[in-house]
Chains A and B, each alone.
Chain A
């Protein structure tokens, strides 16, 4: 059976940002009446592709055709008028307005400038009815659950005859029933001939709803596949970027360790973030966390550090039960956490390298007990040279440093506290190869010196090279804990990520 003509076709799309090729010759097509998943890890180019498609960015090369005619949108507004509507992850509506208004605002039915509320309510109810949603449209949006708000956003998107609907991670804050409700709506829209571009980090959801998928990696097209013809293992392999056959066992695997349990999490969890998990980290042990983007890796780290409050479960540190309400409390128990989001959750960009390095130590001492300047200079000098931070000028504002050096500054901040557990969330992302190798070497050294490390990385090889044990995450669940012995390969890890069970 011949597929219908694509409603949307993108050919050879290229987009360059300073220093990075975000998209390089990407082809993409969307058929009417299908749900098409766009897959890829961090930096694959998914959001850039969506932004190019909706006119947020213009393209450097390539062409876009909508219903057979070439188009170029100057902005999201123009794209929407042409029938391409987008619903983002965080619902971009006004919670203080009524449901009706959120659906019709900007296009309210009017007579002589006066908004006809009755007509507006009728139209909103009708649009929501198309999605099988029958709610009080005059109530404020904030009275409803995130799922309903998501539907309202979709209803708004459909108000202008949408032919293409882009759903960018719509399910990330929904629970199971809400997802099911959303999927019912998506199926219904599909029947009405609307093409849906769907982005989600949840593999189960992709396999449940998507007919077809396009995989990107590092700004390039990997391929377009029918969901029914691509196994989950193959999908993960294509996203992460190795063919299973290519993967060899790594030589320099760390020897197993038998320390006393340091951190024991029992049933720790937080709704809409991570299912309750049980995890033990021993002294001197490197525990790797492997999983796709959005699988709950960061959420585990934040719960252990007290950055978020756990909804369930308990935590013991060195055998003592503790309740970590704040990072401050965690630091007092000598835990440390390097966030993956250096810019927003790590550095204070205005401050100097020295000030950023001594910040956590100073915070622990309180402002009335300053660290003598000479001691500061010694500490900073020691870590600037030990971690090879460049430029080696402690009085340089940290914003002037490159990503890799900023990461090392953050590491130094925590190392001077001599933590018992160091949590590293993607410490090597977005930094150059040299710095990456240095950080990996450092982790091995620290663990050799008795420090426990929780090492989170999207790169499986890195996880395997450094970890004694690997926790595997999938769809916000810790699905397996595997000892890193000779049987464990990146291939085996990928299969676990894909299937959700230890192999």
Chain B
């Protein structure tokens, strides 16, 4: 990057990287602290385990990143994840073969997202209330299909669940992690190297300007909700590999974890600024909190929520300061 000298502009660490750097530092500090405090913590497998246990969250958070970057919010993701596990489990039980099931599940997620996006854009209703209705709808559909947990015993799904992909040096990952990694790579490419991705940033930065600049704002807004719906469905599939069951109470409150991961990853909730890499870090931080709490033993699981809330507070405050200084 060549930096031409311009009078009146100081060159320093670009401010837009600050939130991601803070998150990265936080992650490293947590990892180091864990390593010092607990035996057997500072191994590569610990981090891989975080990925294995949170692969579905990562996939969902990627979709959420698109929505938040475009200046919206999607509260329906948790319910869509649950619906996906439910649809998959039910159809498999009825003897469908696994591949068409996966295609159908992904399609349902994308169509739900598409519908919500269209209502948000064309009828100018706040995204929060539309996706809230979507949340009710998807959860309601789950319960309509069934209120019990439905086990999955399809061989393909179990294969996905039980396969260990060896990375050497006693480290391994699950196929779900591979899926998540692929999603992250594709999404990062889309955000940084395609017009759609740049339009997402532009729309989130200033929707009116984007319109006046002649960008397809309508298509972009609808696209991000469709992507989020698709990612939720994919996250649902990854979760059903992980849990080997479909249940209407899966992923309750997951929308909060996803939003939390995106915010802690440094993406501005007002849209237009943030990186997918930050979201990956955000998911890692959330996962590491859980790991540390389980290592600690005496701390209980609810500390996770409190700590996440605290982190949210700190990062939102930081965002506020950054945007205030920019004005």
User: Which residues of A are interface residues toward B (Cβ below 8 A)?
Assistant: 76-77, 80, 88, 92-97, 101, 105-106, 108, 110, 113-115, 117, 134-136, 138-140, 142-145, 156
Question: Contacts A77-B214, A140-B16 hold; do A97 and B202 have CB atoms under 8 A apart?
Answer: yes
User: How many angstroms from the CA of A351 to the CA of B148 in the assembled complex?
Assistant: 51
Contact between A108 and B195, CB atoms less than 8 A apart: yes
Contact between B198 and A101, CB atoms less than 8 A apart: yes
The 7 tightest CB contacts between A and B, nearest first, are A94-B205, A96-B205, A96-B272, A92-B209, A92-B212, A94-B202, A77-B214
Q: Which residue of A lies closest to B197 (CB)?
A: A115
User: Which residues of B are interface residues toward A (Cβ below 8 A)?
Assistant: 1-4, 6, 8-9, 11, 14, 16, 192-195, 198-199, 201-202, 204-206, 208-210, 212-215, 272-273, 326
List the A side residues contacting B208 at CB < 8 Å: 92
Contact between B1 and A156, CB atoms less than 8 A apart: no
List the A side residues contacting B3 at CB < 8 Å: 136
User: How many angstroms from the CA of A274 to the CA of B212 in the assembled complex?
Assistant: 30
Q: Which residue of A lies closest to B10 (CB)?
A: A143
Contact between A96 and B14, CB atoms less than 8 A apart: no
Partner of B2, one of A93, A97, A115, A136: A136
Q: Which residue of B lies closest to A160 (CB)?
A: B214
Known: A93-B213, A115-B192, A139-B9. 17 other contacts (CB 8 A): A76-B212, A92-B209, A92-B213, A94-B202, A94-B205, A94-B209, A94-B213, A95-B206, A97-B201, A97-B202, A101-B201, A105-B215, A106-B215, A115-B195, A135-B9, A139-B14, A156-B213
List the A side residues contacting B273 at CB < 8 Å: 96
Q: Which residue of B lies closest to A134 (CB)?
A: B4
User: How many angstroms from the CA of A136 to the CA of B2 in the assembled complex?
Assistant: 7
Contact between A135 and B6, CB atoms less than 8 A apart: yes
> Do most interface residues of chain A lie in helix, strand or loop, or is the interface mixed?
loop
User: How many angstroms from the CA of A113 to the CA of B210 in the assembled complex?
Assistant: 20
List the A side residues contacting B194 at CB < 8 Å: 113-115
Question: Contacts A108-B195, A135-B6, A138-B1 hold; do A94 and B201 have CB atoms under 8 A apart?
Answer: yes
Contact between A142 and B326, CB atoms less than 8 A apart: yes
List the A side residues contacting B212 at CB < 8 Å: 76, 88, 92
Contact between B193 and A96, CB atoms less than 8 A apart: no
- A-B contacts at CB below 8 angstroms, number: 83
17 contacts between A and B (CB under 8 A): A76-B212, A76-B214, A93-B213, A96-B272, A101-B202, A108-B195, A113-B194, A114-B194, A134-B6, A135-B9, A136-B1, A136-B3, A136-B6, A140-B16, A142-B326, A143-B9, A156-B213
List the A side residues contacting B2 at CB < 8 Å: 136
Partner of A96, one of B6, B204, B213: B204
List the A side residues contacting B205 at CB < 8 Å: 94-97
List the B side residues contacting A114 at CB < 8 Å: 193-194
Write the nearest CB–CB distance from B69 to chain A, whole angstroms: 10
User: How many angstroms from the CA of A76 to the CA of B214 in the assembled complex?
Assistant: 8
Write the nearest CB–CB distance from A104 to chain B, whole angstroms: 9
List the B side residues contacting A92 at CB < 8 Å: 206, 208-209, 212-213
Q: Which residue of B lies closest to A108 (CB)?
A: B195
Write the nearest CB–CB distance from B299 to chain A, whole angstroms: 39
Contact between B210 and A94, CB atoms less than 8 A apart: yes
User: How many angstroms from the CA of A71 to the CA of B9 in the assembled complex?
Assistant: 44
Contact between B272 and A94, CB atoms less than 8 A apart: yes
User: How many angstroms from the CA of A394 to the CA of B213 in the assembled complex?
Assistant: 46
List the A side residues contacting B8 at CB < 8 Å: 145
List the A side residues contacting B209 at CB < 8 Å: 92-94
Write the nearest CB–CB distance from A166 to chain B, whole angstroms: 13
Contact between A108 and B1, CB atoms less than 8 A apart: no
List the B side residues contacting A108 at CB < 8 Å: 195, 198
Residue from the set B3, B198, B201 with the largest chain A CB neighbour count within 10 Å: B198
Q: Which residue of A lies closest to B1 (CB)?
A: A138
User: How many angstroms from the CA of A108 to the CA of B198 in the assembled complex?
Assistant: 10
Write the nearest CB–CB distance from A111 to chain B, whole angstroms: 10
Residue from the set B8, B208, B212 with the largest chain A CB neighbour count within 10 Å: B212
Write the nearest CB–CB distance from B73 to chain A, whole angstroms: 18
User: How many angstroms from the CA of A144 to the CA of B7 in the assembled complex?
Assistant: 10
User: How many angstroms from the CA of A426 to the CA of B11 in the assembled complex?
Assistant: 46
List the A side residues contacting B214 at CB < 8 Å: 76-77, 80, 106
List the A side residues contacting B192 at CB < 8 Å: 115
User: How many angstroms from the CA of A96 to the CA of B207 in the assembled complex?
Assistant: 12
List the B side residues contacting A80 at CB < 8 Å: 214
Write the nearest CB–CB distance from A388 to chain B, whole angstroms: 39
Q: Which residue of A lies closest to B199 (CB)?
A: A105
List the B side residues contacting A144 at CB < 8 Å: 9
